[in-house]
Structure 1
Amino acid sequence: MTASRCFFACELIAKRGHETTGLSLVASYLYQGFSDFGRSVSRPLVTLLLSWIFSAMYLAPCPAAGLCVKAGDGLIKAASFLFPFLGAARNELMKDMPVGDLIVGFGLGGIGVLCLFLIGLALRNRFRI
């Protein structure tokens, strides 16, 4: 880790409460928590994978009285929501989907874009591309 990245992180922390207030303060804490100020690749990657797995469990079709869960269908649905720019089969998956699932999917799209952005930022910072 270079000194410039450590200085940048310390500078952002020092500005909290003085220059950074309101929603910017919330964004600063989220930026620290999810990516360690752009220094961590693993944090957004783990967040992306965990949100994919947990949302797949939620989106997997399950009969009301049975234990059979189609995990593959849930993983495909969750992946199509996590990566909204890969919307090839998204319209087919969204047919006859309950409103609750669509709301979860909308949130997953935001999480997916955010995590991919933070992964790209960390890679850029790491390799100085």
Structure 2
Amino acid sequence: STHQVDLSALKVNLRRVWQWRSWPPKLSPVAEDPKDGAKSGRLKEIAETNRDHHAALRFSADENRARRWRETSWLGSVLDMAFSVCSDYGQNILRPLAALLIFTVVFTLLYKAMKTPVSADVGSMWEEALLLSVSNSVPFLPQSSILRTDAIDVLYCGTPSLAVYAIMIAQGVFSFIFLFLVGLGLRNRFRL
């Protein structure tokens, strides 16, 4: 098109169906029409040309959903599905933020359950486990390393087990992913 096209009110209903008897198994519905990915891609290009960033994000998400299981590998489709669930393709800030908070609570419980048996106040153990979890969730803050060291000294007498280190590494990976998704959502929300 040579003229400006307003796509803000255009709603696209991507029709998808379950394919139960396929190998490898599909974990979400598949687009009915194999050409839906290309159609959504063209709508995304028109929206980008007209500098309608929010419409371009919507059509890009539909393009990814349409290409999932058809043009993308199985592992790529699983990762695409996780990206969709966790942040709606970078269009949602609340989902990754809620996931980060939930993982912080879950890892607090894990740190508390794996503490070294010492005679200390139970309330302080919960506080230290929470501090350890929060310091691992936001490791870029200057106070995080001090809080982490102090919490490890109280909970594990300064020498945590290999399992605790593995849990800390897993929490660091999940926290990094969810913080990245929060940042992506903020960027997409306030992009001019």
**Bucket of the pairwise TM-score, normalised by the shorter protein:** 0.7 to 0.9
Q: How does 1:1-129 map to 2 (within 5 A)?
A: 2-60=54-112, 61=115, 63=117, 68-69=122-123, 70-86=125-141, 88-89=145-146, 90=148, 93=152, 95-128=158-191
Following TM superposition, by how much is the alpha carbon of 1:98 offset from its aligned partner in structure 2, in angstroms? 1.6
Q: Distance in 2 between matches of 1:62 and 1:99?
A: 13
**How big is each residue's C-alpha offset from its partner over 1:41-83, in whole Å with a ceiling of 9 and x where there is no partner?**
000000000111121122124749xx93521101111122223
**Which one has a bigger Cα radius of gyration?**
2
Which letter does structure 1 place at the counterpart of 2:182? I
Give the structure with the larger helix fraction: 1
Contact 2:96 2:179 in 1 (8 A): yes
- Identity over the aligned pairs, expressed in percent? 29
Which structure 2 segments of 5+ residues have no match?
1-7, 9-53
TM-score by length of 2: 0.59
Task: Give the TM-score of the pair, scaled to structure 1.
Answer: 0.85
| C-alpha RMSD of the superposition | 2.5
Q: How many pairs are equivalent? A: 128
Greater relative contact order, per chain length (Cα 8 Å cut-off, separation 6+)? 1
